[in-house]
Every structure is written in structure tokens, then in C-alpha cells.
């Protein structure tokens, strides 16, 4: 065992590791706080000055982390902020949690990863463990990241250790906080995997080692591809069921009574967030380099991406029954975040619905209890406060995101017409409520 490896394991055992988290977004921020809660020194590296100022002021920009939780961690002194990578020189573990968007619809963009890795390679000390958590295509860690470190004179297994561990954070899920979500780790070699497993074991209840970084990368893509395809399937079945005058929600509820061989998925206005809309397309793209075309992934993605248009068409049909045209009608979109009770607008289907309605000449407003202002994609609106006088002004209310803070009974009493894409009313009051 080399000296670096021996020293690293001693620090893990004594809980004397110094950890750096690069990128304090929805993944890195909770991760950094969790290590700090365990009395482990953490350096939070973030280039966004707005985030740094917010954290320093004890103001959380993530709904899963309260201001008080943040202040409590800061008060203990284990969490330090920095916009500079120079602090990595003192860290034993570096966790990279940066965005991995798409260029267009199908082309992965790993430029954020590469830029972060270059900065890490210029600053880490010998013997450090580097872990990538950003979701990416199989082969990224081995084929893209490892060579960057090698060009900076680092030999793997001698000077540093490299691993991939897919993030699995589910915003808004109180049942599964970060420590209770199993952590998959796969290194360039077994030593890297073992080190990562021990490091994460300090904050995670169960760590699942796999044979390689490539396998760990594929794990995350399988998880979200599974969800994408099943959501695409149930969305298509919802459209089919409507044609057949069948209640798809009742069908799913009855099918769920089977104790084996079925897992319920539910239709909706589309899919948002940082994972499901893009992660499977990374796999779709990588498969092409092996001469394989993944028809399931592309089909499911296409079906889901058309759901906002389908919602608008259904609303147009509903309005026609009352003698109104979509153009000129006053429409209130209720809920603009991609997920209920989560303050996150990334790829929210509600934004697409508003955009489509606007293009078709409807008079648009929105209401969301956690998004007071909406300025995105040529949309500049202020959230409508729901009261009797405001609700009755609209020809139709579209329930796009089912926030728990909304009084749906009040809405049902005062709204003229409701299009319910989230099954809030479960088939009741069909004269006023139309469901997806």
C-alpha cells in the first residue's frame, strides 16, 4: 500500500478528512452540508457570487434546506465558502457536482465538467480522491476526465484516485433525505472504489460499490431512462384513453391492486427538472457511437415533450364546449415549478404551456405560492393571489403543478372551468372539471 493510500484510510477512520464540494447547486449544496453536519471540514467551491452571498447570509436557495438548518451548520464552523479552487490544496476528497445540460435536444454538453476538472487538476494535492457526481454518459470518467489529470502529471493509483458516484437527490422528498439514499460508487480501479465507499460511508447509510466508473455512470442513466419510458407510456395511454372515453386514473388505480408485476406511473403535463428530461438522452447519444439507435428513449422523450401542446389542445376543446375560443380567453396557469412544493423552474412544462397559450392569443396569468415573479422565455408576469374576485375573472384554470399550499376546494367553488392535469379532483364535478 502506498503512503498516500495508507494516510487516506487513517484519516477516514479518524474522521479527519477534508472534503471539497465543487458546485453548490441542488446536488452539491446538500452534500456539503451533510459532511459538515458530521463535523467534517468542508470547502464549498462556487463561482456564482449570488449563491455565495446567499449562503454567507444564512439564506438557503434550495427548498429542502431551511435557513435555520443552514445557519446551524455555519455556526459550527465546519463549512467554509470559496470562489477559488486554491482551497483544494488542503482537501483529501473533491466531489464535483456541476451541471450537464444538452446542446439542442440530443447532444450532451460536458463542458462544465471539463472546465471544473481542469481547475481541480491544477490545484489538488497528491493522494486526493476525486469523485464526479454530475450525470453523464458511460465512459466520461475514464475517457474524458482521467486524461486531463494525466496531462497534469497525475498517475492514477499512485498520485490520486478517481471515481464516479451518481447523484440521487430527489427534491422535496421528505421520506428519503440524503443519508437514506443508497450511494453507488464505481472507480477507475478497486482501490478508488473502496476509498470512495469509505468516504461516503461517513454520511450515507448504505454504499453500493460496482465494478467500474462506466457501470456507475450507466446506473444513473438506467434509473432515469426507466422513469422516462414509463412516463412516456402512461402519457400516451392517457391520450388514448381520452379518445376511448376511459378514465386513465381509474385504470391505474385498479391496476395498482395487483401485488406483483406492476408499478404505477401517472400522466401529467410533461416532465421537468434536471434529470429525467435530459439524462436518458445522454445514453441515447452515447449508444449511437456504438452503432445502436435507442428507439424507446427517443420515442418516450418525443411523447413527453408534446404533452404541453396536448394540454393546450384539450383546454381549447373544453372552452369550445362553453362557446369560447382559445384566442382572447383568460387562462390562469396554476403552478409553474416542475414539481409540487419544490422551488425549481428548470424545464418546467408549465412554462411551455404558458408559451404555447401566449402564441395562440390567450390572455395568460399564473399563480404559484412559491414563485412570486416569473421572468423567463419572454414571459414577465407576477403571481396572481387566489381569491374570489381574481379566480372568477378567468375563463379556465389549468392545474399544471399540484402544490399542497393551494386551497383546491376554494378553487372548485369559484372557478368557472378547471382543467386538472394532476387528478386533484379524482373524477368529481365533471360539469366544471375536466381531467387529463
**In whole angstroms, how large is the CA radius of gyration of the chain?**
24
Rounded Cα distance, 29 and 181, in Å: 16
Rounded Cα distance, 161 and 159, in Å: 7
Contacts 24+ apart (CB under 8 A), 149-155: 149/117, 149/121, 151/121, 152/121, 152/122, 154/121, 154/124, 154/126
* E strand segments, 170-310: 183-187, 207-209
Fill in the DSSP letter of residue 156: B
> Which residues, including other chains, have CB under 8 Å from residue 340's CB and lie 6 or more apart?
172, 401, 402, 403, 404
Residue 227 in contact with residue 301, Cβ under 8 Å? no
> Which residues, including other chains, have CB under 8 Å from residue 154's CB and lie 6 or more apart?
121, 124, 126, 160
Of 308, 331, 321, 340, residue with least CA distance to 430: 321
List, in sequence order, every residue forming a beta bridge with 381; answer none if it has no partner: 374
Of 10, 18, 15, residue with least CA distance to 129: 18
C-alpha cell at 59: 439564506
For residue 312, the surrounding DSSP H or E stretch is helix 307-321
Give me the catalytic one of 91, 97, 163, 275: 275
Residue 331 in contact with residue 384, Cβ under 8 Å? no
- Residue corresponding to grid cell 435507442: 294
Of 198, 173, 203, 176, residue with least CA distance to 31: 203
Q: For residue 245, what are the CA distances in angstroms to 239, 318, 400, 430? A: 10, 15, 22, 13
Residue 359 dihedral angles phi and psi, to the nearest 5°: -65, -30
Annotation says 163 is catalytic = no
Query: What interhelical angle do 279-288 and 213-243 show, nearest 10?
Result: 110
> Known catalytic residues?
275
Amino acid at each position: 500500500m502506498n503512503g498516500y493510500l495508507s494516510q487516506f484510510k487513517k484519516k477516514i477512520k479518524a474522521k479527519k478528512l477534508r472534503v471539497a464540494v465543487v458546485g453548490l447547486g441542488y446536488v452539491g449544496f446538500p452534500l456539503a452540508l451533510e459532511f459538515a453536519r458530521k463535523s467534517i471540514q468542508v470547502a464549498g467551491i462556487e463561482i456564482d457570487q449570488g449563491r455565495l452571498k446567499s449562503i454567507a447570509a444564512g439564506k438557503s436557495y434550495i427548498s429542502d434546506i431551511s435557513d435555520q438548518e443552514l445557519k446551524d451548520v455555519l455556526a459550527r464552523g465546519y463549512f467554509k465558502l470559496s470562489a477559488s479552487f486554491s482551497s483544494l490544496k488542503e482537501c483529501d476528497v473533491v466531489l464535483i457536482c456541476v451541471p450537464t445540460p444538452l446542446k439542442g435536444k440530443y447532444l450532451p454538453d460536458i463542458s462544465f465538467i471539463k472546465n471544473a476538472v481542469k481547475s481541480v487538476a491544477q490545484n489538488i494535492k497528491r493522494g486526493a480522491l476525486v469523485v464526479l457526481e454530475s450525470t453523464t454518459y458511460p465512459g466520461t470518467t475514464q475517457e474524458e476526465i482521467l486524461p486531463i489529470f494525466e496531462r497534469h502529471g497525475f498517475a492514477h493509483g499512485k498520485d490520486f484516485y478517481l471515481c464516479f458516484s451518481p447523484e440521487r437527490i430527489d427534491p422535496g422528498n421528505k421520506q428519503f433525505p440524503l443519508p437514506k439514499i443508497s450511494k453507488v460508487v464505481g472507480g477507475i480501479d478497486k482501490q478508488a472504489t473502496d476509498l470512495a465507499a469509505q468516504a461516503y460511508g461517513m454520511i450515507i447509510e448504505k454504499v453500493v460499490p460496482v465494478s467500474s466508473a462506466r457501470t456507475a455512470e450507466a446506473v444513473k442513466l438506467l434509473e432515469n431512462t426507466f422513469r422516462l419510458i414509463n412516463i412516456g407510456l402512461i402519457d400516451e395511454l392517457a391520450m388514448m384513453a381520452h379518445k376511448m372515453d376511459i378514465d386513465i386514473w381509474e385504470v391505474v388505480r385498479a391496476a395498482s391492486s395487483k401485488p406483483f408485476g406492476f408499478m404505477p406511473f401517472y400522466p401529467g403535463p410533461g416532465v421537468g427538472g434536471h434529470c429525467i428530461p435530459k439524462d436518458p438522452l445522454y445514453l441515447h447519444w452515447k449508444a449511437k457511437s456504438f452503432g445502436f439507435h435507442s428507439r424507446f428513449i427517443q420515442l418516450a422523450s418525443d411523447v413527453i415533450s408534446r404533452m404541453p401542446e396536448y394540454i393546450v389542445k384539450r383546454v381549447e376543446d373544453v372552452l369550445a364546449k362553453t362557446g369560447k375560443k382559445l384566442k382572447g380567453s383568460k387562462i390562469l396557469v396554476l403552478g409553474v415549478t416542475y414539481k409540487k412544493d419544490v422551488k425549481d423552474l428548470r424545464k418546467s412544462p408549465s412554462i411551455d404551456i404558458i408559451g404555447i397559450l401566449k402564441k395562440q392569443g390567450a390572455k395568460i396569468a399564473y399563480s404559484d405560492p412559491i414563485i412570486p415573479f416569473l421572468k423567463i422565455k419572454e414571459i414577465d408576469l407576477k403571481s396572481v393571489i387566489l381569491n374570489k374576485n381574481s379566480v372568477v375573472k378567468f375563463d379556465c384554470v389549468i392545474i399544471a403543478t399540484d402544490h399542497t399550499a393551494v386551497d383546491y376546494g376554494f378553487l372548485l367553488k369559484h372557478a368557472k372551468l378547471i382543467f386538472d392535469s394532476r387528478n386533484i379532483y379524482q373524477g368529481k364535478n365533471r360539469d366544471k372539471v375536466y381531467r387529463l
